[in-house]
Amino acid sequence: MKDWTVKQERYLCESVSNRLGELAANLARITSFSHNDLNRDAVASLIEESKFFIEWTAAGTGIDQAAELVELQVQLACWQLDWQNIWLDDIRRGTVAEQAKVWSDRVLDMSGLLSEVISATP
């Protein structure tokens, strides 16, 4: 079992916006990595890590965002419970990749990082 303490300490030093950005990046990696049969364990690890990211972030967000993050965490847990079967089924794995992309976009939007970049450019 992995010790998450060091990762949690580093992660919690970031702003909530950056934490959400890291979660969005993980979800984008799930999408990307799901297209290669050899990435089963890497995707499973990203799912696990993403659940922790949500746990460490949700309390710092508003009630609506926290509710969405909990919904995502439940989705990740459902994938995790049936991961072996999902990975072996190309259609189900493709569905996971599509859903992870939707969630990635939503969490990135939630982070506000894109609007910060847009407003910072002259």
pTM of the full structure: 0.90
Half-sphere exposure of 106 (CA within 13 A, CB side): 14
For the chain, the C-alpha Rg in angstroms (whole number) is 15
What tens digit of pLDDT does each residue of 77-90 get? Answer: 999 999 999 999 99
Going from N- to C-terminal start, the domains of the chain cover 17-120
d(CA 48, CA 44): 6
SS3 call for 44: helix
What tens digit of pLDDT does each residue of 38-77 get? Answer: 999 999 999 999 999 999 999 999 999 999 999 999 999 9
pLDDT band at residue 114 under the 50/70/90 scheme: confident
Eight-class DSSP state of 64: H
